[in-house]
Amino acid sequence: MDRAEALDRLQGARVGRFASVVPDGRPHVVAVTFAVTDDSVVHIIDHKPKKTQDLQRLRNVETTPEACLLVDGYDEDWSALWWVRVDGMASVEREGGRWERARAALATKYHQYRDAPPTGPAIFLSMDRVTHWAGS
């Protein structure tokens, strides 16, 4: 797999695992829906049930912005396995043009957001480093 194919697989993936660092240095990983916009990967806190809107990942990014997102494809035929990881600096935005474009990109990618687009804070992850692997 070359970089262009890795980016295609990243854009087409339906779910990713977003990893950030809690203030004491431990990793924190959550599954997210996401979109690729410009040179970033973005996910927005949505209306799905949560215990609180003061989410750990938001606090993590505001304290330690280094983060990553991993997408993968699993198959019982291990020659078909693949993964793509984006490493970069994360930031939180709660409004503005970039937030609006991210919201629109998510609504385009996921039909579940068309009638109820996400309204929470967005986490943008810069695509500083893209690494990838494929079994064949």
Q: Has residue 51 got a pLDDT over 90?
A: no
Quote the domain boundaries for residue 74: 3-134
Phi-psi region at 58: left, alpha or beta (left = phi > 0; alpha = psi -120 to 50): alpha
CB 57 within 8 A of CB 44: no
Q: Has residue 50 got a pLDDT over 60?
A: no
Q: Dump pLDDT digits (tens) for 63-83.
A: 999 999 999 999 999 999 999
Provide the mean pLDDT of the chain. 93
Query: Domain of 66: which CATH number?
Result: 2.30.110.10
> What percent of the chain clears pLDDT 70, i.e. is strictly above it?
95
Q: Dump pLDDT digits (tens) for 79-118.
A: 999 999 999 999 999 999 999 999 999 999 999 999 999 9
Number of compact structural domains in the chain: 1
CB atoms within 10 A of CB 48: 9
Q: Within 13 A of 2's CA, how many CA atoms are on the CB side?
A: 1
pTM: 0.93
Determine the residue type at 96.
G
Q: Has residue 121 got a pLDDT over 90?
A: yes
CB 102 within 8 A of CB 124: yes
Distance CA 126, CA 124 (A): 6
Determine the residue type at 86.
V
